[in-house]
Amino acid sequence: PARQTPVLETRGICKSFGALRASREISLDLRPGEIHAIIGPNGAGKSTLIAQICGTLKPDAGSVHLLGRDVTHQATRMRARAGLGRTFQISSLAMDDTVLQNAVLGALGASGRPWRFWKDALHDRTLTETAEEALLRVGLEDLARQRTAELSHGQRRQLEVAVALTLRPKALVMDEPMAGMGPEGSRLLTGFLDQLRQEAPILLVEHDMDAVFSLADRISVLVYGEVIATGSVEEIRANAAVREAYLGD
Ligand code: ADP
Ligand code: MG
């Protein structure tokens, strides 16, 4: 059967920092309904890859495609508006704002309205409803009026997912969403991502191998800026080069 158009695709992207080749001709795709995990040691180039997909870094060569369109030269904001949602390795939340305010600001960004209206946004009915809906979906509705700084680490990560959801994304890119979470938080988020993939396929950079092995439809292994293998969980677990480079035996 003909292959479905990928939701997201990189074709041969390269990125160097001086002499360091952080991305070496990376070609991968994200297909409808799937979770595609990216694993690899620290410094392998995972965050650099994500930055090029989301548009905060420009590749030296190669291209990025979103929903079949070449977005290589599009600004981050335009990619977001086209349906590319993301969560960050380092939190981007405003700690002094409430949980709801963070989600409303996310909804404002997603709406494409200019940022100078952010004060009005906090009283905007539509944006507030979008934000509340996203909080409900990640189970934070009861904490909406709390200051974000008072949340647990795991709850903040859930809030970041909620902020990404205010976009009603068509694809999600997540950089280590489980990092620093306890077992209960990881379990909850794993269950949530498992359902979410139907609505928005997920490119998931993650070190938590239990989560990766339970969630991923496919896994790509990145080592020194290069994809050394892509395959199913079984294929990756059985791959000798992968075991040596990353899985540690
Ligand atoms: P990972 O997310 O897999 O841990 P990164 O993508 O953060 O890896 O980094 C890949 C490599 O590129 C590392 O060696 C890192 O030090 C380097 N690097 C990342 N960003 C920059 C930058 N802006 N300038 C110089 N070197 C960078
Ligand atoms: Mg990283």
Residue 47 near ligand 1, beta carbon < 6 Å:
yes
Residue 214's pLDDT is 95
- The 10s digit of each residue's pLDDT in 137-183 is 999 999 999 999 999 888 898 899 999 999 999 999 999 999 888 88
Residue 225's pLDDT is 97
pLDDT range class, residue 13, cuts 50, 70, 90: very high
Residue 4's pLDDT is 78
Residue 117 near ligand 1, beta carbon < 6 Å:
no
Question: Ligand 1 atom closest to Cα of 45?
Answer: 6
Rank 90-104, 193-207, 235-249 by mean pLDDT and report only the highest.
Answer: 193-207
Residue 112's pLDDT is 76
Residue 80 has pLDDT above 60, yes or no: yes
Ligand 1 pocket test, pick from 21, 48, 53, 228 with the greatest ligand atom count within 8 Å of Cβ, gives 48
Provide the residue ranges of all domains of the chain, joining segments of one domain with +. Answer: 1-83+169-249, 93-168
Question: What SS3 string covers the chain?
Answer: CCCCCCCEEEEEEEEEECCEEEEEEEEEEECCCCEEEEECCCCCCHHHHHHHHHCCCCCCEEEEEECCEECCCCCHHHHHHCCEEEECCCCCCCCCCEHHHHHHHHHHHHHCCCHHHHHHHCCCHHHHHHHHHHHHHHCCHHHCCCEHHHCCHHHHHHHHHHHHHCCCCCEEEEECCCCCCCHHHHHHHHHHHHHHCCCCCEEEECCCHHHHHHHCCEEEEEECCEEEEEECHHHHHHCHHHHHHHHCC
Domain 1-83+169-249 CATH (choose: 3.40.50.300, 3.40.1110.10, 3.80.10.10, 3.90.1150.10): 3.40.50.300
Higher-confidence residue of 192 and 218: namely 218
Residue 247 has pLDDT above 80, yes or no: no
Residue 45 near ligand 1, beta carbon < 6 Å:
yes
The average confidence (pLDDT) of the chain is: 92
